[in-house]
């Protein structure tokens, strides 16, 4: 699913920022696409934390094969030893079980998120072990398709902003926020194009 706002956002960013205009022109058919349900997206984010993309894919495939289904009940029924056997650390195993519990008990209810502001969703998600603000922001961008998220602490965004706006010098979060003022209310889309300027793979 591609966000319905994409065309409007691209037009705004192209008019507001010449740097983004060039990045957008270089990728005219590129779009953000949502994949997976909420539980799968969050579980995959936990699995992929602090490890390489190939390693995460291997562990994820083992987890799918062992669990039989990527659902809160299926993951919640797995013993820690079985999760560890898929290649997960003790800590990540605990995180996945905690995530499954939040979904099973209704502490996290995706059906209510459409009525909540971004910060409300983030506040709910960070109650889950292993989900911090950065993971929650990625979820808002890639799964909920929220249009105006600016993950200023993201290393990839900082690198891209440094390259395109700061002559490859380190860029402060304050300066990044100032640059991003003209991107609103489409800062997620601007962030996505800046990520893509570094590497196409992560935005997929």
pLDDT of residue 202: 59
- CA-wise closest residue to 142 among 70, 38, 5: 38
110 and 97 fall within a common domain: yes
Structure tokens at 62: 């083992």
51 and 126 fall within a common domain: yes
pLDDT of residue 171: 95
98 and 153 fall within a common domain: no
pLDDT of residue 34: 85
45 and 124 fall within a common domain: yes
Q: Examine residue 1 and state whether it is found in any structural domain, yes or no.
A: no
Domain final position from 142, 164, 183: 142
83 and 105 fall within a common domain: yes
Q: Are 39 and 71 in contact (CB under 8 A)?
A: yes
124 and 77 fall within a common domain: yes
Please report which residue ranges of the chain form alpha helices under DSSP H: 6-16, 18-26, 38-47, 53-67, 72-76, 80-85, 90-105, 118-125, 133-142, 155-165, 173-180, 187-198, 200-203
Residue 199, domain extent:
6-33+148-203
Q: Are 175 and 155 in contact (CB under 8 A)?
A: no
Question: Tokens 């079980």 sit at which residue?
Answer: 97
Q: Examine residue 133 and state whether it is found in any structural domain, yes or no.
A: yes
DSSP 33-71: ---S-HHHHHHHHHHTTTS-HHHHHHHHHHHHHHHSS-S
What's the CA gap between 201 and 196, in Å, rounded?
Answer: 8
Mean pLDDT by 10 residues, the chain (204 residues): 91 98 92 88 91 91 96 96 97 97 93 93 95 94 95 94 96 96 98 90 61
135 and 63 fall within a common domain: yes
pLDDT of residue 201: 66
Q: Examine residue 59 and state whether it is found in any structural domain, yes or no.
A: yes
Domain final position from 99, 122, 142: 142
51 and 131 fall within a common domain: yes
Spatial CB neighbours of 102, under 8 Å, sequence gap ≥ 6: 108, 127, 128
pLDDT of residue 204: 59
Domain final position from 142, 157, 190: 142
137 and 48 fall within a common domain: yes
Distances, alpha carbon 71 to alpha carbons 43, 60, 76, 92, 145, in Å: 10, 13, 8, 17, 21
- CATH label of the domain that carries residue 164: 1.10.1670.40
94 and 171 fall within a common domain: no
106 and 170 fall within a common domain: no
82 and 118 fall within a common domain: yes
* Domain count within the chain: 2
């Amino acid at each position: 699913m591609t966000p319905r706002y994409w065309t409007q956002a691209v037009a705004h960013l192209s008019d507001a920022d010449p740097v983004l205009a060039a990045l957008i022109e270089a990728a005219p058919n590129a779009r953000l696409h949502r994949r997976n349900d909420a539980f799968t997206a969050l579980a995959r984010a936990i699995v992929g934390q602090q490890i390489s993309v190939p390693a995460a894919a291997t562990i994820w495939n083992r987890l799918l094969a062992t669990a039989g289904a990527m659902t809160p009940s299926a993951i919640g029924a797995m013993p820690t030893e079985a999760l560890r056997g898929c290649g997960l650390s003790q800590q990540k195993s605990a995180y996945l079980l905690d995530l499954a519990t939040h979904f099973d008990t209704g502490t996290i209810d995706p059906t209510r998120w459409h009525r909540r502001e971004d910060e409300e969703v983030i506040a709910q998600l960070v109650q889950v072990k292993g989900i911090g603000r950065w993971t929650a922001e990625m979820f808002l961008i890639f799964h909920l398709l929220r249009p105006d998220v600016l993950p200023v602490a993201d290393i990839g965004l900082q690198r891209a902003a440094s390259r395109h706006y700061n002559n490859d010098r380190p860029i402060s979060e304050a300066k990044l926020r100032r640059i991003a003022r003209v991107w609103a209310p489409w800062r997620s889309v601007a962030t996505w194009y800046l990520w893509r300027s570094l590497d196409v793979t992560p935005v997929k």
